[in-house]
Amino acid sequence: MTFGQVEGFLVLAEELHFGRTATRLHLTSARVSQLVRDIEQLIGEPLFLRTSRKVELTPQGKALLAELRPAYWQLTAAIENAKGRAARSEQTLRIAYNKGYGVARIHAYASAFERAYPEATVSTIVVDETINFAAPVRDGTADIQVKWLPDNPQRFAGLEPDLEFSATLASSQRGVVVGPDHPWAGRESIQVEELADHELTRPPKSVPDWYIDSWSIPTTPNGRPIRRRELDANWSLVGLMDGLLRHGRAFETYTDDLEAIRVEGVRMVPIDGLPPCCMTAIRRKGDSSPLMDAFIDIAQQTAVQSRGRTNESIPSTSVIGERF
């Protein structure tokens, strides 16, 4: 039997109507009838009882259907799997991420992807993106950028019309980094309302306003204004450390999985009352491929497995550079 004959038999066995079968297969009713006659001639006995009013399977037809349907499903699945492998074959997926975003985490995603799809490879690109939001994706340097956002990615859907944000890959409690002489340095945590008590840094004006005001909120939930200052237009480590250690300011960030630069006395203090930061995979809107979809799926699965294995802890004497 040819693949077309198998498909024709299965569809007619489901529909029990020549006209509907012809429509589904994009054939004429006469062609469907010919397919059935050819199959019955090959088998050597009738498979359908046909009258002017109805079509029914014979006992022989029912027996063939029971054996042929699972084999057809297995065959079509094998073909689709082969197509997927061909689409990914000898392709390299370029994944960008920022300094301090957790090298171990990103490479865990990449390794899990390459284990699941050995015919594809991942090229990781460490970027020093401090000026333009999602620049590696927008300029074509990377296919996907893994990035922390200051809340659930779906909250920001549509704010960057040319970009798509995946569902959350990982989350982390918000925190502030402060110098050893800061009033918060000895605290186990602070409440969000306390952010109005001291001056904080904020992202540079070159990033979108929604990102600035979500990352470094302008007012507390009770409406108290928060003093914010852009210390360094490039958001560099030097500018952050100068603000922390010389001027006593605080730097808002996330508490989880820091690529730490250890600095004596510098403290990470969790903030209670703010939504967590969320890691997402960013790509250009409409720029989808089986390779990108597979990586995002694997990253989400790996993140869930990692959360199940790991007891999260908050570093107490760490600071990071080039975060945005």
pLDDT of residue 118: 84
DSSP one-letter code for 149: E
- State the pLDDT confidence band at 319, using cuts at 50, 70 and 90: very low
pLDDT band at 286 (very low <50, low <70, confident <90, very high): confident
Q: What is the pLDDT of residues 112-143, one digit of tens each?
A: 998 988 888 888 888 865 567 889 999 999 99
Dump pLDDT digits (tens) for 198-225. 988 888 888 899 998 998 999 999 999 9
**pLDDT more than 70, % of the chain:** 80
pLDDT interval class at 196 (50, 70, 90): very high
Q: What is the overall mean pLDDT for the chain?
A: 83
Residue 274, pLDDT above cutoff 90: yes
**Domain 88-170+279-312 in this protein, CATH class:** alpha beta
DSSP of 10-60: HHHHHH--HHHHHHHHT--HHHHHHHHHHHHHHHTS--EEE-SS-EEE-HH
Is 114:120 a contact under the CB 8 Å cutoff? yes
Greater model confidence, 26 or 202: 26
- Is it the case that residue 15 has pLDDT exceeding 80? yes
Return the top range by mean pLDDT from 3-12, 91-100, 123-132, 217-226. Answer: 217-226
Domain edges within the chain: 3-87, 88-170+279-312, 172-277
At 137 the pLDDT is 93
Sign of CA dihedral 16, 19, 21, 24: negative
Q: Is 172-277 in the same CATH topology as 3-87?
A: no
Model confidence pTM above 0.75: no
pLDDT at 272 over 80: yes
Report the distance separating Cα 250 and Cα 231, nearest Å.
11
The answer to whether residue 88 scores a pLDDT higher than 50 is yes
- Average pLDDT rounded to a whole number, residues 280-301: 90
Q: What is the pLDDT of residues 41-75, one digit of tens each?
A: 999 999 999 888 889 999 999 999 999 999 989 98
Q: What is the pLDDT of residue 121?
A: 84
Amino acid 64: pLDDT: 92
- Class of the CATH-defined domain 3-87: mainly alpha
Q: What is the rounded average pLDDT of the residues 277-295?
A: 90
The separation between CA 203 and the C-alpha centre of its own chain, rounded to angstroms, equals 24
pLDDT of residue 256: 63
**Which residues fall within 8 angstroms of residue 243, CB to CB, at 6 or more apart?**
201, 229, 231, 232, 249, 251
Contact predicate 192/274, CB 8 Å: yes
CATH superfamily ID and name for 172-277: Periplasmic binding protein-like II (3.40.190.10)
Burial of 222 (0-12, 13-18, 19+ CB in 10 A): exposed
pLDDT band for position 260 (cuts 50, 70, 90): very low
Highest mean pLDDT: which of 19-28, 76-85, 118-127, 196-205? 19-28
Segment 139-158 mean pLDDT? 92
Find the length of the chain: 324
> Greater confidence, 253 or 299?
299
| Residue 263 confidence (pLDDT) | 62
Residue 117: per-residue pLDDT: 86
pLDDT number for residue 229: 84
